[in-house]
Amino acid sequence: MVGKYELLAPAGNFKSLVAAVNAGAGAVYFGLQEFNMRFSAQNFKISDLNKINKICRKKNIKKYLTLNTIIYDEEFRNIEKIIKKVKGNVDAIICWDLSIIRLCRKYKIPFHISTQASVANTGAAKFYKKIGAERIILARELNIKQIKKIAKIIDVECFVHGAMCVAVSGRCFTSQFLHNKSANRGECLQPCRREYTVKDDAGNELRVDNNLLFSAKDLCALPFIDKLKKAGVRAFKIEGRNKDPEYVDTVVRIYRKALDKKLNKEEIKQCIEQLKKVYNKGFSSGFYLHTPTADDFSKVRDSQATEKKQFIGKVEHYWSKQEVAAVKISAAGLQIKDKILIIGNKTGVKRVTIESMEISKRPRKKAKKGDRVGIKLPRCRKGDEVYKVIGGNLIRY
């Protein structure tokens, strides 16, 4: 584990997994292609576990598997097969259904209680500790004072950054009612992120300042991370298994820095500006400091990231000795001083400012669609994707 405090990063695919490991995560959490709360993420197969272990072993990164959806009788045999197969390949299973807890105990696999269990008091914490839980991911509607009490009983984990459901700990049925896609089965279509009009039975329409009535801002605990440390929190979790790799890379790096040292006001301000560059819907303190108000609801339907990425092309070849990549430009164009992202399954995320380019061994200041350009880059691989970073007010992934 990296550092005194465990930092958990989301891994929805191999690109994000490698990005998390390289950025300083102490643990990663991920789902398989069924029975997890992020069904729309790419997720992994059981056959990927050896590769995941190989990536994480280099830096002693812990691996947590999420099996945290509602389970039905007809699925029980399959879930037991999964648990038997993952034994020895994960450090713990994140769950809350008592049938899965029973299987974890049966096969002697450590388990952490998911936030889906909505643990919000010391009595529930004592119960889960008694039946063998190593850790509880607490309900998201707790304040710091409440967290401190529970942290005296059992190891606690808290979310510190990322999307917040309007139903807080995920107990939402809106997607189920509107689209027959249950959030509690990991299939949420996020109807809360849409704009709504308020009308009464007579057809009178209510004028509101913000039609995004159910769309919460993202949680950002960075400004008061030290208060969570003092409250006894030992594991700090980043939401985002559906997010892009550069989101994972940026957020993990910022929170790793904040967990390893006490940041001053200026450093916190600078870090917030970095967090604003990647996907976000505005920032909120959640329930940690006070009950959310109207100011804690987002005013944009999509993201308000201050940077966006534009696909440029792919790496066709990489010469390690020269540290040069051949990039086939299939969209837009590049020029000297452009900032680019290189993203790949083994590379993770790398950020580079272009200092020089060559086409047919001749220096060039610009390259256009269709060109095969040589660029001096840090270690990357054939097939890695290349994106240009563009400043902007809004970004849609």
Domain membership of residue 181 (yes or no) is no
CA-CA distance, 345 to 48, in Å (whole number)? Answer: 12
The pLDDT value given to residue 315: 97
Residue 294 clears pLDDT 80, i.e. is over it: yes
What's the pTM value of the predicted model, to 2 decimals?
0.90
Pair 289, 313 in one domain: no
In this structure, are 361 and 236 located in the same domain? no
Per-residue pLDDT of 265-288, as tens digits, reads 999 999 999 999 999 999 999 999
* Residue 41: predicted pLDDT: 53
Query: What is the reported pLDDT for 371?
Result: 95
For residue 317, pLDDT over 70 is answered with: yes
Whether 162 has a pLDDT exceeding 90, the answer reads yes
* CATH number, residue 376: 2.40.30.10
Q: Quick one: 373 and 235 in the same domain? A: no
State the average pLDDT over residues 313-341: 95
Q: Is 380 in contact with 374 (CB distance < 8 Å)? A: no
Residues 289 and 317 in one domain: no
Amino acid at the residue 180: N
Query: Per the structure, how many domains does the chain have?
Result: 2
Asked if residue 385 is part of any domain, the answer here is yes
Q: 48 with 162, same domain? A: yes
- Residue 81 falls inside a structural domain: yes
Tell me, what amino acid is at 64? Answer: Y
Domain match, 273 and 318 both: no
Looking at residues 249-262, what average pLDDT do you find? 97
**273 and 160 co-located in one domain:** yes
Q: pLDDT band for position 397 (50/70/90)? A: very low
Q: Is residue 301 part of a domain?
A: no
Q: Which of 296, 320, 342 lies at the terminal end of a domain, its last residue?
A: 296
Mean pLDDT of 34-58: 81
359 part of a folded domain: yes
Alpha-carbon distance of 257 to 140, in angstroms, equals 23
Same domain, 289 and 327: no
Task: Establish if 200 belongs to a structural domain.
Answer: no
83-103: per-residue pLDDT in tens? Answer: 999 999 999 999 999 999 999
250: in domain: yes
CATH number, domain containing residue 104: 3.20.20.70
For tokens 């459901």, name the residue: 165
Q: What residue ranges in 90-225 does DSSP mark as E strands?
A: 92-95, 111-113, 135-137, 155-162, 198-199, 205-206, 218-220
Identify whether residues 87 and 130 lie together within a single domain.
Answer: yes
Burial class (CB in 10 A: 0-12, 13-18, 19+), 135: buried
Q: Does residue 27 have a pLDDT over 50?
A: yes
For the record, the structure tokens of 109 come out as 């696999």
The distance between the two most distant Cα atoms of the chain, rounded to a whole number of Å, is 74
Same domain? For 313 and 280 the reply is no
List helix spans (H) across the chain. Answer: 14-23, 49-57, 76-86, 98-106, 122-130, 144-151, 174-179, 225-230, 245-260, 265-276
Roughly how many angstroms between the first and final C-alpha of the chain, as a whole number?
31
Pairing verdict, β 339-344 and 348-353: antiparallel
155-162 and 218-220 beta bridge pairing:
antiparallel
Mean pLDDT, the chain, rounded, equals: 90
How does pLDDT run across 167-198, given as a tens digit for each residue?
766 667 677 767 777 766 667 777 677 777 78
**Locus of tokens 């993770």:** 348
Could you tell me which residue, 200 or 99, shows the higher pLDDT?
Answer: 99
153 in the same domain as 82: yes
Last residue of a domain, which of 296, 329, 346? 296
Strand order in the sheet with 307-319: 348-353, 339-344, 385-391, 307-319, 324-329, 372-376, 357-359, 362-364
**Residue 2: per-residue pLDDT:** 52
For residue 42, the model assigns a pLDDT of 67
So what's the pLDDT on residue 184?
Answer: 66
Q: Sorting pLDDT into bands at 50, 70 and 90, what band is 38?
A: low
Q: What is the dihedral of CA 364, 370, 374, 380, to 10 degrees?
A: 140
Structure confidence at residue 396 (pLDDT): 34
The backbone torsions φ and ψ at residue 233, rounded to the nearest 5 degrees and listed phi first, read -70, 130
In a domain, 211, yes or no: no
Same domain for 20 and 163, yes or no, is: yes
In the chain, pLDDT over 70 holds for what percent of residues?
92
Q: Which domain holds residue 385?
A: 307-391
